Amino acid sequence: MIQKIRILHRAMALLLTMGLFSGLAQADAAFRDMQGNITTLEAQQTPGEWTVVMVWASDCHICNQEVGEYSQFHLKYADKNANIVGVSIDGSQGLADAKSFIQRNEVLFPSLIADVETVARWYQMRTGESFRATPTFVLIDGDGEVRAAQPGAVPTQIVEDFIAAKS
């Protein structure tokens, strides 16, 4: 399965460079930081380090419960081998709600914002699966390869154990 995903990623990259696969470029360009600057999830990754993407929504009960634990994870691993990047699916219309979520929960890791369709396209391209719910976690290794994706609550200890086993 991982080999199929790698082949799919390489094919998409080739098509993108040839200008034949503009959907990925459009999805990528639709991510913004909380100040409104266009960015990509890939730009948030540090080569050689794990990136844990937490997809959240401001009105998601489980997201509100889990985000504190992931802020602590971010503090623990920021200078080691992993970082967290949040992605709000509240979209530009929900920017105020997303910022309120960040402030209310004292989120310590950077978060981006996009509409749910953009996030779903990114998720489909990176995992080969359909986006289902928030929270969703995507674990990307230091080479930029998706190693795991899981919708629903995921305790940070499981993420720590996974990274330790795969590093």
CA dihedral 99, 105, 109, 110 (to 10 degrees): -10
Give 101's Cβ-side CA count (13 Å radius).
Answer: 30
Task: Give residue-wise pLDDT tens across range 54-77.
Answer: 999 999 999 999 999 999 999 999
Note the pLDDT of residue 13: 39
Task: Give residue-wise pLDDT tens across range 37-47.
Answer: 999 999 999 99
The CATH number covering residue 27 comes to 3.40.30.10
Say how far apart CA 158 and CA 13 lie, in whole Å. 31
- The pTM (predicted TM-score) of the whole model is 0.82
Report H helices in the chain. 2-17, 22-29, 61-77, 95-104, 116-127, 156-166
Q: What is the biggest distance separating any 2 CA atoms in the chain, rounded to whole angstroms? A: 44
Query: Which domain does 124 fall in, by range?
Result: 2-166
Residue recorded with tokens 């720590």: 160
Q: How many CB atoms lie within 10 A of CB 61?
A: 9
Query: How many structural domains is the chain composed of?
Result: 1
Say how far apart CA 67 and CA 71 lie, in whole Å. 6
**Band (167; pLDDT cuts 50, 70, 90):** confident
Note the pLDDT of residue 78: 86
